[in-house]
């Protein structure tokens, strides 16, 4: 079979691009630690705020959604709903989430109603929050300060009021 020279060049260029893309994914994952949000499990959105439901910690009261596993090691279970995150929704009178500097925090999120988003400023945490599904990402906070998080998926009339705060204390 005869293959035109120009066609061969396209084959080679396409193969080279695949290698470049694979390298970009590999380097961002293994060198820069960029994580893809992992769906870790399923919950029932109707009962997720019941203590102990589905083996997670999205239950009331809200304070119990912040769990210190060991010194400097935390898990935070944030329940999203129109139009707040709990815990941390300072705009709705909730206390900010507070951890000491140097902490590693794993965030678990799910939604009680519609699709929301979760972006934590100053970190690489950005994920979709879906009813029925638990999403999980981890960050380490080496700088004290205020880290705001916002909903970045349009979720209804008061979407712009859906934000909260994490304080990293010195």
Q: Collapsing DSSP states into helix, strand and coil, what is residue 119?
A: strand
Tokens of 17: 């691009």
Selected binder of ligand CUA within 116, 120, 139, 166 (CB under 6 A): 116
Q: How far is the CB of 76 from ligand CUA (least distance, A)?
A: 17
Q: How far is the CB of 150 from ligand CUA (least distance, A)?
A: 8
Asked if 141 contacts 101 with a C-beta cutoff of 8 angstroms, the reply is yes
Nearer to ligand CUA by Cβ, of 21 and 154: the residue is 154
Q: According to CB under 6 A, which residues from 149 to 168 bind ligand CUA?
A: 151, 153-155, 159, 162
Q: What binding mask, one character per residue, do residues 133-152 give for ligand CUA by CB under 6 A, x or -?
A: ------------------x-
Angle (CA) 20 23 26, round 5°: 155
Query: By C-alpha distance, which of 122, 110, 130 is closest to 49?
Result: 110
Task: Report in angstroms the alpha-carbon separations of 12 from 6, 20, 23, 24, 134.
Answer: 10, 12, 17, 18, 42
Nearer to ligand CUA by Cβ, of 116 and 165: the residue is 116
Nearer to ligand CUA by Cβ, of 62 and 162: the residue is 162
DSSP string, 71-115: TTEEEEEEEEETTEEETT-GGGTPPPEEEETT-EEEEEEEESSS-
Q: How far is the CB of 145 from ligand CUA (least distance, A)?
A: 24
Q: How far is the CB of 25 from ligand CUA (least distance, A)?
A: 29
Nearer to ligand CUA by Cβ, of 59 and 164: the residue is 164
Number of residues located near ligand CUA, criterion CB under 6 A: 8
Residues that bind ligand CUA (CB under 6 A): 83, 116, 151, 153-155, 159, 162
């Amino acid at each position: 079979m005869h293959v035109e020279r120009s066609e061969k060049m396209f084959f080679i260029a396409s193969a080279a691009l695949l290698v470049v893309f694979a390298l970009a994914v590999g380097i961002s994952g293994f060198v820069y630690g960029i994580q893809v949000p992992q769906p870790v499990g399923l919950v029932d959105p109707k009962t997720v705020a019941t203590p102990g439901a589905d083996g997670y910690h999205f239950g009331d009261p809200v304070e119990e959604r912040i769990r210190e596993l060991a010194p400097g090691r935390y898990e935070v279970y944030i329940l999203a709903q129109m139009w707040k995150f709990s815990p941390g929704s300072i705009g709705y009178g909730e206390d900010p989430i507070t951890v000491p500097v140097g902490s590693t925090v794993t965030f678990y999120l799910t939604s009680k109603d519609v699709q929301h988003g979760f972006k934590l400023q100053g970190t690489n945490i950005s994920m979709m929050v879906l009813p029925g599904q638990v999403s999980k990402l981890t960050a380490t906070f080496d700088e004290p300060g205020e880290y705001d998080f916002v909903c970045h998926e349009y979720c209804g009339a008061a979407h712009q009021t859906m934000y909260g705060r994490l304080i990293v204390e010195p």
